[in-house]
Chain A
Amino acid sequence: MTTRLVLKKLIDAVVLLAMVLVFNFFLFRVVDHDPLAKYRGHSKLSQAQRTAIIKRFGLDGSKWEQFVRFVDRTLHGDFGRSFNSTRPVVSEILDRLPNTLLLVGISTVLTIAIGIRIGIRAGWQRGGRFDRISTPFSMALYGTPEFFLGMLFLAFLGAKLGWFPTGGVTNPAAHYTGFSAIVDRARHLVLPVATLTLGYLGSYSLVMRTSMLDTLREDYLTTARAKGLRDRDVMRRHAVPNALLPSVSLIAIGFGFIIGGAITTETVFSYPGLGLATYQAIGNTDLPMMQALFMFSSVAVIVFNIFADVVLTFLDPRIRVGA
């Protein structure tokens, strides 16, 4: 059953990716801005040099010819070169990927671990002291843009108190080795991780709380209590497994989004990951970078969605039949 489900989802994914491919190409060309303006207008370049540059970046010929060429190259794994650095886009992305994975990985694990717990506890004792404090707190976090949170951290904990570095991944002035290099790296991660974690915490805990409240109304919880189970076991064995189901999808989708979309946080902290690369690519109208980055985050969202669907079939037996 699960194999068939995965197969079906994979076919969906391929169709979706084809659509993303088309969309990506035209989306960035709707804005009529010449990415090579600085070359075209350059007086010291000869006409031949200009044509060579335009050709090199694949911007010669009509939009349609460009599109066919773009699709052909993409299918062959060639995403082109960055207009800005002239390096291959793939190496640009691969250079930054570890930074983003580290940042997003740590903050996602923290967000899930903390957010889900807060939601479970708040929902289980609705209206209790914990709920009355945590829920407004979650809502405030949910409503706060991450970049604002990041700027507060940067201004107070970074600049004013000087507890943490204000940007980058390492201290370029010092040449740490061994353990002190790890400490340096960790110190640079604290503020961006805190920003991302707090930025997403609210939505996880609120979704988990709501889904706990829905589950608490279920008859099987009364059955569990009637059987003489302790409250703790009623919660752990009967309420939480059911209440987690909606959160699994949210976690997976969120994971996919954050990988491609820690844009604001990375930008605020000048953290050289994919988010900052996206921000810079948009600023420079770096078409190949934008196309590749958007493709990458689309793939991330799609892959994690499939992952969520598979995980759900293991958690919820009712899905297995319907698949």
Chain B
Amino acid sequence: MSDPLLVVRDLHVTYRSSRGPVPAVRGVSLHLDRGETLGLAGESGSGKSSMAMALLRLVPVGTTITGSVTLAGEDVLAMKPGRLRAVRWAEAAVVFQGAQHVLNPVHRIRRQIQEAIDTHRGNGKVADLLEQVGIPRWRSDAYPHELSGGQKQRVMIAMALACDPELLIADEPTTALDVMVQAQVLQLLADLQRDRGLAMIFITHDLSVLSTVADRLAVMYAGRLVETGPAKEMLRGARHPYTKALAAAFPTIGDQSSRLAPSGLAGDPPDPMAVPSGCPFHPRCPIATEECAATMVELHEISPGWEAACLKL
């Protein structure tokens, strides 16, 4: 394999607010090969969406992004606006959470997909794209409100594929869908990813859905990565106490003991404006000691290709 498709180094995303700067992402480094799927997990507010949106600089005015994002050899953070617009969707497209209002309610879906194609002078056909995601071509005249949540999510995926991108950023694409539809959409994404050789960043708070799609996992807490490693191994036996808690929060189907005793994690994720000292997870961590509150901990290799940020590992 040649150079990685995406290299992120020491990424910081800081929002502006009336109370002062809000550091949502505080130094994330990761890389993604062509055709590889990275599952990015964490609670709401962990900075995972902020991190993903910053890859295409899709952030509110006044937000500062530092570090570097290299997509196919080009530094995204240094691009001029015109070049950035050309890269958006054509090289990296986003699958937003389709159940929400990510489609414009006053335009037919055909027009919204065609708009993406026209913007990048592509030659994709709307009807073909819809068929690939399992929507009959005659539905292209529909308005978003005439479609179900699952269908809207499929339209969103078809739209993301419109300009044949190399990277797909899927931001909670299965959240808010019922379980059956969730499984269908996951399967669709996995198939498309394999057939088209797409690289994908799959963002979710639900670790269990990642087993179907992800090659590697990265878990975020308080704007930093706390553990990253091969998906299968990590799902079988997470090492970082936060990942363990996140995995235990979802009961395993068929496992009576986990269903009867769902082990949630007490407390809330930290306020990004008041992140605890040392390891930011120490106030909620079952194995934390005094030294955890005092010592800042960085990601370090705990076994080949597997890194964690924990003093106990």
The chain A residues found within 8 Å of chain B, CB to CB, are 218-220, 222-230, 237-238, 241-242, 315-318, 321
C-alpha spacing A229/B100, complex, angstroms = 21
Identify whether the interface residues of A are mostly helix, strand, loop, or mixed.
Answer: helix
Q: Can you name 18 extra interface pairs (CB under 8 A) apart from A237-B115, A316-B106? A: A219-B102, A220-B101, A220-B103, A223-B94, A223-B96, A223-B102, A223-B103, A223-B159, A225-B58, A225-B88, A226-B94, A228-B88, A228-B120, A229-B119, A238-B104, A241-B106, A318-B145, A321-B146
A91 to B105, CA, bound (A): 48
Interface residues of B in 134-168 (CB under 8 A from A): 143, 145-146, 159
Cross-chain contact of A229 among B85, B96, B107 (Cβ < 8 A)? B85
Which residues of B come within 8 Å of A, CB atoms?
56, 58, 85-90, 93-94, 96-97, 100-107, 115-116, 119-120, 143, 145-146, 159
Q: Contacts A241-B106, A242-B106, A318-B143 hold; do A226 and B58 have CB atoms under 8 A apart? A: yes
> Are A229 and B115 in contact, CB atoms less than 8 angstroms apart?
yes
Give the docked Cα–Cα distance between A176 and B101 (Å): 61
- Are B96 and A222 closer than 8 Å at their CB atoms? yes
Identify the interface centre among A223, A238, A315, A317: most chain B CB within 10 Å of its CB.
A223
Contact check, A228 vs B102: say whether CB atoms are below 8 A apart: no
* A237 / chain B contacts, CB cutoff of 8 Å: 107, 115
Which residues from B are CB-within-8-Å of A223? 94, 96, 102-104, 159
Contacts of B119 in A (CB 8 A): 227-229
Contacts of A230 in B (CB 8 A): 85
Residues of B within 8 A of A227 (CB): 88-89, 115-116, 119, 159
For A316, what are the chain B residues with a Cβ–Cβ distance below 8 Å? 105-106
Q: Which residues of B contact A222 (CB under 8 A)?
A: 58, 96, 102
- Nearest-Cβ distance from residue B101 to partner chain A, whole angstroms: 5
Kindly state the separation between the CA atoms of A220 and B100 in the bound complex, as whole angstroms. 9
- Classify the interface of chain B: helix, strand, loop or mixed: loop
B90 touches A228 (CB 8 A): yes
Which residues of chain A are near B86, meaning CB under 8 Å?
228
Shortest beta-carbon distance, A322 to chain B, in Å? 10
B106 touches A315 (CB 8 A): yes
In the complex, residue of chain B having the shortest beta-carbon distance to the beta carbon of A317: B143
- Tell me the bound Cα distance from A321 to B58 in angstroms: 34
Residue of B nearest to A128 (CB): B61
Residue ID in chain B nearest A218 by CB atoms:
B101
Cβ contact of B145, chosen from A218, A228, A321, cutoff 8 A? A321
- Bound complex: CA A222 to CA B115 (Å): 14
A315 to chain B, nearest CB (A): 7
Interface pair B90/A242, CB less than 8 Å apart = no
Complex Cα–Cα for A318 and B104 (A): 11
Task: Verify B143–A220 contact, CB threshold 8 A.
Answer: no
- Of all chain A residues, the one with the shortest Cβ separation from B88 is A228
Give the complex CA separation of A53 and B87 in angstroms. Answer: 85
Name which of B94, B106, B107, B115 has the most chain A CB atoms within 10 A of its CB. B106
- Give A244's nearest chain B residue, CB to CB: B106
Most buried by A among B93, B100, B102: B102
How many Å lie between the Cα of A218 and that of B105 in the bound state?
Answer: 11
B56 partner residues in chain A, CB cutoff 8 A: 226
Looking across the interface, which residue of chain B has its beta carbon closest to that of A222? B58
B143's closest neighbor in chain A, by CB?
A317
Whole-angstrom distance between the Cβ of A129 and the nearest chain B Cβ: 14
CB-based contact A228/B106 at 8 Å = no
Nearest residue (CB) in B for A125 is: B61
The winner among A228, A242, A315 for most chain B CB atoms within 10 A is A228
Question: B156 to chain A: closest CB distance in Å?
Answer: 8
Complex Cα gap A225–B58 (Å)? 7
Chain A, Cβ-Cβ closest to B91: A228
Of the A-B pairs whose beta carbons lie under 8 Å apart in the complex, a sample of 5, sorted by A's number, is A220-B103, A220-B105, A226-B58, A228-B86, A242-B105
